[in-house]
Structure 1
Amino acid sequence: MTTPHATPHIVSDVMTRSVVTARRGEVFKDIVRTMQDHRVSALPVVDDDGHVVGIVSEADLLPKEEFRDSDPDRSTQLRRLSDLAKAGSLTAEELMTAPALTVEAGATLAQAARTMARTRVKRLPVVDGTGRLEGVVSRADLLKVFLREDESIAEEVRREVVAYLFPAPASAVRVEVHEGVVLLAGRVRDRSLVPVAARQVRAVEGVVDVRFDLSEAAPAAELSRKRPATR
């Protein structure tokens, strides 16, 4: 059984829209100065039309200091050709990592989180469908969803999960949320749907965990047999 869900929050809902960038020809010292002034560890590199062409990060800059006064041996030269090349680079175009790892503004927060986790990056440039820079999303931005109000979460769970999986009057389920933890309590007609409900509730933005206190409701026919006859 599938249930229609509210549109998940997307990257454009939480991203930072004011972004400090570098141009291809920006020189080493200016890149360092920009990072220091704006307290960032990486800059998207954009072309004249605002398309992201690469990323220059502190990691791209450090080889210049690391190899400044050293003469690497042959083994190091072979293992670290890229870093040695960056040690001799002067501009953003020479230093940057390309192509840039980006995420589209319409991607869900879960998609962005998976990309960050898989590639072990702390932030991603956000682009439109043509690759033009629209913002930057960080790990901290993705965590903002967990600041969602409990009652807002509860209302979505009632509307998008309980109403479809456990409709009244066959089931009677109440939804409580405390600090993002959802409790579904009451009676349900079909307990086999509980695992489905768990997956659906966890998919709701802002949910920290889900718990159940559910009993199985007696079939309607059984209830009618137990009801005393009226005269």
Structure 2
Amino acid sequence: MNRRSPHTVNDVMTSTVVAVGLEAPFKEIVAAMKEWQVTAVPVLEGEGRVVGVVSEADLLAKEELRDREPTMIGQKERLADYAKAGAVTARDLMSGPAVTVRAGATLPRAARLMAEHRVKRLPVVDEQGVLKGIVSRSDLLKVFLRTDEDLAAEVRRDVVDRFFPVSRGGIRVTVEKGCVTLTGSVRDAALIPVAERLTRAVEGVVDVRCDLIAPMTADVAPRP
């Protein structure tokens, strides 16, 4: 992974996706999940438009409520669960509308969507909502597999060379296990926190230690 930051969902998503149609039967969905070793599958309509997602939680309602005698109060409190317990196709099992993401979205955007909606994976769709791939939590962590050399090159190119064209020769960038250290002397002290922030924003960076300094260069006025 040698692209410059920011990386997008398209860089890390899985393009081969198992999905089911609206009329897919219960057992077929369970079998697909087992075969592909996934915990959820998108549900497609028409030419591949994502309309929902069936997860293990949606399927487990049938087993959980199998031997439970519903009461009027219980049915009211868990109406959706009881409906799914009696469902036999993806149309009635799925949760919808599906939470999706575009291929061009940044990884932080995808991570926020997962956190906000408490899901482990997101279908990736185009402008028409047609399925193009899937992105999971583990996919978002792929940026941390970038090599130290790759990270150092990006920090030097996009931070040091860009903001310190005069001082860059005296700035050292070292990376160990994803942790970046910046050392050296620069002319403009105001740019030091900017350099630290931008280095921290490079995807794949685990931590940043900024030891840049800006020595006083102004002449001291002589006493009268």
RMSD of equivalent CA atoms: 1.8
- Of residues 145, 148, 151, the one that matches 1:150 is 148
1:171, distance to aligned residue in structure 2 (A): 7.8
Given the alignment, which residue of 132, 138, 148 partners 2:130? 132
- 2: CA distance, partners of 1:58 / 1:170: 53
Q: Is 2:28 the counterpart of 1:33?
A: no
- Counterpart residue identity of residue 139, structure 1: R
Counterparts of 1:1-231 in structure 2, within 5 Å, are 6-169=4-167, 172-219=170-217, 222=219
Name the SS for the 1:144 alignment partner: helix
Partner of 1:226: none
Which residue identity is paired with 1:27? P
Q: How far, CA to CA, are the matches of 1:169 and 1:92 in structure 2?
A: 61
Partner-residue secondary structure (3-state), 1:211: strand
CA contact (8 A) 1:86 1:94 kept: yes
Q: Is the 8 A contact 2:179 2:206 kept in 1?
A: yes
Given the superposition, is the C-alpha separation of residues 96 and 172 from structure 1 closer, same or farther in structure 2, using an over 3 Å criterion?
same
Q: CA deviation at 1:128?
A: 1.2
Q: Distance in 2 between matches of 1:31 and 1:51?
A: 18
Describe the superposition over 1:136-165 as per-residue Cα deviations: whole angstroms up to 9, x where unpaired.
111111101011111111111111111233
TM-score between the two structures when normalised by the length of structure 2: 0.91
Aligned length: 217
CA contact (8 A) 2:182 2:211 kept: yes
- Shift of residue 184 of structure 1? 0.6
CA–CA separation in structure 2 for the residues paired with 1:7 and 1:194: 20
Q: Which residue number in structure 2 is paired with residue 227 of structure 1?
A: none
Displacement of 1:75? 2.2
CA distance in 2, matches of 1:214, 1:196: 11
Q: Distance in 1 between matches of 2:35 and 2:162?
A: 52
Distance 1:170 1:144, change over 3 A: closer
In structure 1, stretches of 5+ residues that fail to align are 1-5, 223-231
Structure 1 runs (4+) greater than 3 angstroms displaced: none
Alpha-carbon distance change, 168 to 94 in structure 1, aligned in 2, over 3 angstroms = same
Q: In 1, distance between residues paired with 2:41 and 2:202? A: 33
Question: Following TM superposition, by how much is the alpha carbon of 1:193 offset from its aligned partner in structure 2, in angstroms?
Answer: 2.2
Q: Residue 146 of structure 1 contacts residue 208 of structure 1 at CA under 8 Å; is this kept in 2?
A: yes
